[in-house]
Structure 1
């Protein structure tokens, strides 16, 4: 046997040996759909599957970021261990109290009090409210957004930051590297931040020539603002014009429609803890918590005061807290569930919870865009419509060309969640996210009023209409569903 034949035999043995190893290792601690997709790719296209799995196969971070997040969760649990499961005056059901205990165990974040200072949808209005809060800053401002750009719409906010620096306020800013760099004016934007005296840093930077490399599929998708530890904003708005810097989008009327919540009270410290963790991960510097007394408001049903719990999640949280809370709350529903997500690609547990609730007689309303802005996710999302419609879920298609980008959930008339997390595989495991759970106040009713607005301008998809979809559309949807499980 010649060298060529020996080499060929060795390569075949190696290939099948690696495939055999993959069959027993890929499924470990991974959802079945993801395992199946990875194994299909590895077994049928090994020249692509093996390198890709080595690069992005793990849904979690390792090394320093994982260690820091674990340590932070432990420190939070230690420093808040004296606090009760729910704040005085809160009266959750036994089922909801169990969710609060679970979330605290997974993230270290206790349930505290906070006041709803306003629900913001219109982008200029949102940035104006943020600028107003910054204008009142005395000591510091902490800014963290997945996407940022200094454009005509966001100028009031960045001008307020620059003016705050001139007053002696310390402004710290974090933005995701890949999330922000693709938009117009990237280089000029960074220079303007530096010239304004803003202490800015990139999250999850990818700069191999400078020795900074991160997996490109793991990103920080959070959107939050904290001023003096007293007021905070969190939601789905990125800090960019609603047309996302595209003249073509602007001409076509394509705008991203979002929802952000402004809060005060004890919950602000939790938001600040999330920023402090991300700041340390990117800079190595510890931030001293704000030293001020926050009065706990009286929890009056239907008022602005709420019991609130912050739910950070991401690749530093292998337990996937956001997914677990979504699923647990849907299982608890007895009357209504309303879900709004621009990217709806549920895993098996969430899909089962939603369809089971619908079969139990719970009214389920799902608000999604008629047209997605991302090809792969949009078609993967469509692959779930038949199962949802057959279970009786009401799917409301928000009219194009607008992009419905809000992310929130309400269950019965009792509990709400709002924040940055989509209901897809990326937000469950690959992206750093933050959601706020609230109950006991008026937020649920106001989000339900927002649902009524969405419902009035949307079109409800019917099962009969969906069954009439061409076969090649369904084929494409199912292929994208399989591919999405790799992410």
Structure 2
């Protein structure tokens, strides 16, 4: 009799806790979230509350901690002060009213004005981009700043680190940041840290998960930025990590899988914009304040040595959990709405939110030719299926989907609006077009409004399309019921943020 009473008591207590969790979740989870994200989290909590609630507490908030938000606000205020007398775009340059509004939007959200940059090359060959970065490091006289999401010590990247070591021996100050969670699963992770220390490089982990040191946060909030800055004069930005293109995985090597990326090299005032982003991230991890150069201190090369077409009007757009307004998502949507004739979207992970999906399909309905460049098979199971769950709606709207053949992973990330028209606009950088990049990762993108960079990215897109398989609606409708089911399940999980 006593055992039955105890059992009934525990059952009643369990029901009270169960319904309390559900009632609280219904009133708390939707606050400040997209409807899709709220629905996904509520479904998880309501169906499996004892699992869903811990997951939500661990991964349900994009906020990192008070200190980092305070630092981000201080950085934003500092950038605003530095640019107080800087116009939205350089004097003497003429831009359309529509383009001016996009520049104004980006500046409002990030405090970064549009400035000039000299394009020194678009590198789509993995080894070529590494070689160019190594050459720039070897030419460094004062300092080198490296901020890369994934870094690994391997035969491909070893020359990169050796160039950094040579720089240190010349008296060049080398500072290096890489993401803790992004890098720790790759071979020689511990060796990398030891080698960097031996070389005399100042290095820190970005967003480290070290609870024994009081450093713990939501584990899937990562710093995904990829930048190299040399002497405040030369900058590299794009999608490439410092790791072998196979990502050192046995299965990748067995099936011949490798990553295809793009990096852009440039000089000019935009490099000081990059330095401001790096300085903020460096301070967040090291507590060391770096001197930030004003745009006026960074001069373009002599006009006698640079063609007019190589001078680009660009705007750096940082984003991440420290920004509550999702600058990169708003920029992408603005660029898509800007397109009048042709729109090119290249992203390894295309998992749009409601606003992005509507802007892309709306572009099709108003007569824009929309081309989506993706991998035939993404490297991540969940992303591969979540992404393909959108193909039906995209194909029905008229999107031309080009799938780069497996086993290659098309990892380049750029967008072009009317690249052949009189008022082109584009963006290249670290940000994917997915919910993670919009709300969870620290990203950095370069919006391009004038100059030859858009044309070179357009040529790169054409080469990708030529090598790709084009997906048709008829072919897509032949997929199995099982494939549809898995796609839809993964689509739901993609909104858990």
Alignment of 1:145 with 2:151, yes or no, is no
Deviations, residues 298-328 of structure 1 (Å, cap 9, x unaligned): 7x99701111110101111121100000011
Alignment of 1:267 with 2:277, yes or no, is no
Alignment of 1:454 with 2:464, yes or no, is yes
Instruction: Supply the distance in 2 between the matched residues of 1:250 and 1:302 (Cα, whole angstroms).
Output: 44
Matches within 5 A, 1:230-241: 230-241=233-244
Paired residue for 2:299? 295
Q: 1:377 aligns with which of 383, 393, 404?
A: 383
Q: 2:312 aligns with which of 286, 306, 316?
A: 306
Q: 2:221 aligns with which of 215, 218, 225?
A: 218
Paired residue for 2:98? 95
Instruction: Supply the distance in 2 between the matched residues of 1:305 and 1:118 (Cα, whole angstroms).
Output: 12
Superposition deviation, residue 157 in structure 1: 1.4
Paired residue for 1:357? 363
Paired residue for 1:108? 111
Instruction: Supply the distance in 2 between the matched residues of 1:7 and 1:105 (Cα, whole angstroms).
Output: 55
SS at match of 1:153: coil
Instruction: Supply the distance in 2 between the matched residues of 1:186 and 1:353 (Cα, whole angstroms).
Output: 41
Paired residue for 1:160? 163
RMSD: 1.6
Is the Cα contact below 8 Å between 1:370 and 1:397 reproduced in 2? yes
Instruction: Supply the distance in 1 between the matched residues of 2:11 and 2:308 (Cα, whole angstroms).
Output: 73
Superposition deviation, residue 439 in structure 1: 1.4
Superposition deviation, residue 4 in structure 1: 4.5
Superposition deviation, residue 296 in structure 1: 4.9
Deviations, residues 270-304 of structure 1 (Å, cap 9, x unaligned): 11111111100011111112478322577x99701
TM score, norm. by length of structure 1: 0.97
Is the Cα contact below 8 Å between 2:122 and 2:265 reproduced in 1? yes
Deviations, residues 100-119 of structure 1 (Å, cap 9, x unaligned): 11111111111111111110
Deviations, residues 211-263 of structure 1 (Å, cap 9, x unaligned): 22122111111110001100010100000110111344234221100001111
Instruction: Supply the distance in 2 between the matched residues of 1:156 and 1:293 (Cα, whole angstroms).
Output: 32
Superposition deviation, residue 12 in structure 1: 1.8
Paired residue for 2:348? 342
Q: 1:10 aligns with which of 4, 10, 13?
A: 13
Instruction: Supply the distance in 1 between the matched residues of 2:35 and 2:94 (Cα, whole angstroms).
Output: 38
Is the Cα contact below 8 Å between 2:383 and 2:490 reproduced in 1? yes
Superposition deviation, residue 3 in structure 1: 5.2
Alignment of 1:467 with 2:473, yes or no, is no
Instruction: Supply the distance in 1 between the matched residues of 2:181 and 2:80 (Cα, whole angstroms).
Output: 32
Is the Cα contact below 8 Å between 1:124 and 1:154 reproduced in 2? no
Superposition deviation, residue 65 in structure 1: 0.8
Deviations, residues 340-393 of structure 1 (Å, cap 9, x unaligned): 000000000000000000011100000000011000011000000000000000
TM score, norm. by length of structure 2: 0.95
Alignment of 1:200 with 2:203, yes or no, is yes
Paired residue for 1:418? 428
Is the Cα contact below 8 Å between 1:60 and 1:429 reproduced in 2? no
Instruction: Supply the distance in 1 between the matched residues of 2:356 and 2:281 (Cα, whole angstroms).
Output: 28
Superposition deviation, residue 143 in structure 1: 0.5
Instruction: Supply the distance in 1 between the matched residues of 2:334 and 2:65 (Cα, whole angstroms).
Output: 28
Is the Cα contact below 8 Å between 1:302 and 1:440 reproduced in 2? no
Paired residue for 2:453? 443
Alignment of 1:396 with 2:399, yes or no, is no
User: Using a 3 Å threshold, how does the CA distance of structure 1 residues 52 and 190 change in structure 2: closer, same or farther?
Assistant: same
For structure 1, the residue ranges without an aligned partner over 5 or more in a row are none
Paired residue for 1:319? 325
Instruction: Supply the distance in 2 between the matched residues of 1:195 and 1:290 (Cα, whole angstroms).
Output: 30
Alignment of 1:20 with 2:43, yes or no, is no
Number of residues of Structure 1 aligned to a counterpart in Structure 2: 486
Paired residue for 2:374? 368
SS at match of 1:306: strand
Instruction: Supply the distance in 2 between the matched residues of 1:90 and 1:478 (Cα, whole angstroms).
Output: 48
Is the Cα contact below 8 Å between 2:117 and 2:314 reproduced in 1? yes
Is the Cα contact below 8 Å between 1:137 and 1:164 reproduced in 2? yes
For structure 2, the residue ranges without an aligned partner over 5 or more in a row are none
Paired residue for 1:333? 339
SS at match of 2:73: helix
SS at match of 2:329: helix
Is the Cα contact below 8 Å between 1:345 and 1:423 reproduced in 2? yes
Instruction: Supply the distance in 2 between the matched residues of 1:323 and 1:135 (Cα, whole angstroms).
Output: 36
Deviations, residues 412-436 of structure 1 (Å, cap 9, x unaligned): 1211100000011110011111000
Instruction: Supply the distance in 1 between the matched residues of 2:320 and 2:453 (Cα, whole angstroms).
Output: 25
